[in-house]
Amino acid sequence: MNKSQLALLLLLFVTPGSSAQTAPANTLVLTVDAAAPSHPFPHFWEHMFGSGRAILSLRESYRDDLRSVKKITDLQYVRFHAIFHDEAGVYDEDAQGNSVYNFSYVDQIYDGLLQNGVRPFIELSFMPNKLAAKEIHQAFWYKPNISPPKDWKRWDELIQQFVRHLVDRYGIDEVAQWYFEVWNEPNLDFWAGEPKQQTYWDLYDHTVAAVKRVNARLRVGGPATAQAAWVDAFIQHCVQNHIPVDFVSTHVYANDPAQEVFGVDEDVPRDQFVCRAVKKVHDQIATSSHPDLPLIWSEFNASYKNEPAITDSVYMGPWLADTIRRCDGLVNEMSYWTFSDVFEEQGVVRQPFYGGFGLIAAGGIPKPSYAAFEVLHLLGNQRIALNSDSALVTWRPDGSLVLATWNLVPPDQNGTSKIVTIRFMHSGKLLHAVISRVDSDHGDFHTTYRKMGSPRNPTQVQIQQVRRAVELGPPEVRELSKGGLTLTLPADGLAVIEVK
């Protein structure tokens, strides 16, 4: 049986009005009803990205990667750690012990973001060494000080001086569009206060009061926790003590311990983990005294480890698409960690592909995750109901239907190709489909990089060769046949189909 005969046979399984039909295991049969109910579909996954620490943003390689990601996404905000690290020079003390402030690097950091059309999502961290109560450093290569302040009044003044400088430099109408997040993951080893939760409440209370003293319009939130922790207690603390809070933020990674995140000894699949945590926090907010608080997921990824078989692989395409499908309606913004491998938490990068978090590897080489963001950007802003766990369909303002479909295979399994047959109903005169793909043959560096011997220190010529190889190039254009379309998705393949 050839593919045309198989496509005809598969269409016989489809009952008009249904969204999906049972078919053999290696097939997916979809009916897309353009008249089905729809809802707004803001691109919550591509407005905000994380990056390393603040000082890295002064590098040209960082800014090159920022511009590259800005071209293919609706990037609006960037978050990074350690704006108060000593290397940024914000806080010092003179010989008499008086506080001294210097915003020279701060200005260069934020000017650089704004000049590239991106606003800061400011994580207020970590402790300047001379303001710290103790010398307690987290294990990152750049050794951030995680101590509480030695003097809360000096911390308050640092926050006020910092925020007032920003307002004076950029204007309140601009800075009111930024976010101020208090600290990073205080429930882990990024906060040395004891007991952790109560001393974090002290930190948050002091910080939000200092920011609001500069201007009440400024947006402040927390608790910026790892593993989706503390949110219910944080909201309760703010309500009971009349503490301002403008948004809730927290983090999770798809390989976090389920016991820590959900309180269960359960093997939660990697493709379900993030959105299950998002729903947990969404529901905590919805049942709280502040049910309308925005939820900003200020870090997420498929792994918090350096796993090349995950974050450097084509697996990220279907994983990201399915995460978008599952998290839609549960969160205001999600910040992918990170947009670039200009990143030094474990030290200076030693080779281009080591399982880094970024969309772009050292040398400015895009990974499959970059290609996935590029094609998913094509989705529309209205999502149409579709009963499928491996597809979603949207309308674009220009009247195009845009469908994403994928073949997600768990990392520990060997997958096979999947034949996808799509039938369109109530869609008018749809004439042709434009198909953009991400898979081992589209947007993946592995084949080219291996052919050149996987050099640890590729030359500029080799870097350019890999860059050219991962360019997606022109999409495939197909005429629709009898109102339908059939295509094959390899294991961990992602396709975005614009139907016009």
pLDDT in tens, 366-383: 999 999 999 999 999 999
SS3 per-residue string spanning 27-67:
EEEEEEECCCCEEECCCCCCCEEEEEEHHHHHCHHHHHHHH
Q: Per-residue pLDDT for 308 more than 80?
A: yes
**299 tagged catalytic:** yes
Closest by CA position to 361, among listed 374, 373, 343: 343
Mean pLDDT of 399-428: 88
Q: Per-residue pLDDT for 452 more than 60?
A: yes
Q: How would DSSP label each residue in 146-201? A: -PPBS-HHHHHHHHHHHHHHHHHHH-HHHHTTSEEEE-S-TTTTT---SSHHHHHH
Q: What is the pLDDT of residue 38?
A: 93
Q: What is the pLDDT of residue 8?
A: 31
More confident residue, 279 or 482: 279
363 bridge partner residues: none
Q: Per-residue pLDDT for 11 more than 60?
A: no
Q: What domains, with CATH codes, occur in the chain?
A: 3-33+381-499 (2.60.40.1500), 48-376 (3.20.20.80)
Rounded-to-integer distance, Cα 417 and Cα 48, Å: 33
At residue 479 the predicted structure's pLDDT band, cuts being 50, 70 and 90, is confident
Mean pLDDT of 56-72: 97
Rounded-to-integer distance, Cα 73 and Cα 376, Å: 9
Cβ of 359: how many Cβ atoms within 10 Å? 27
Rounded-to-integer distance, Cα 249 and Cα 295, Å: 6
At residue 33 the predicted structure's pLDDT band, cuts being 50, 70 and 90, is confident
Asked whether the beta carbons of 85 and 72 are under 8 A apart, the reply is: no
At residue 206 the predicted structure's pLDDT band, cuts being 50, 70 and 90, is very high
HSE on the CB side for 296, CA within 13 Å?
28
**185 tagged catalytic:** yes
Of the chain, the percentage scoring pLDDT greater than 70 comes to 94
Among 46, 123, 181, 299, the active-site one is 299
Closest by CA position to 207, among listed 154, 169, 250: 154
3-class DSSP assignment, residue 122? strand
Mean pLDDT of 280-287: 98
Q: What is the pLDDT of residue 427?
A: 65
Phi, psi (rounded to 5 degrees) for 280: -55, -50
476 bridge partner residues: 435
Q: What is the pLDDT of residue 7?
A: 34
**How high does pLDDT run on average in the chain?**
92
Among 46, 123, 185, 374, the active-site one is 185
pLDDT tens-digit profile of 389-411?
Answer: 999 999 999 888 999 999 999 98
Mean pLDDT of 274-298: 98
Distance of CA 201 to the CA centre of its chain: 26
Closest by CA position to 493, among listed 322, 344, 356: 322
Ramachandran area for residue 329 (φ above 0: left; ψ -120 to 50: alpha; else beta): left
Q: What is the pLDDT of residue 303?
A: 97
Phi, psi (rounded to 5 degrees) for 192: -105, 5
Q: What is the pLDDT of residue 430?
A: 63
- Copy the structure tokens of residue 122: 């400011």
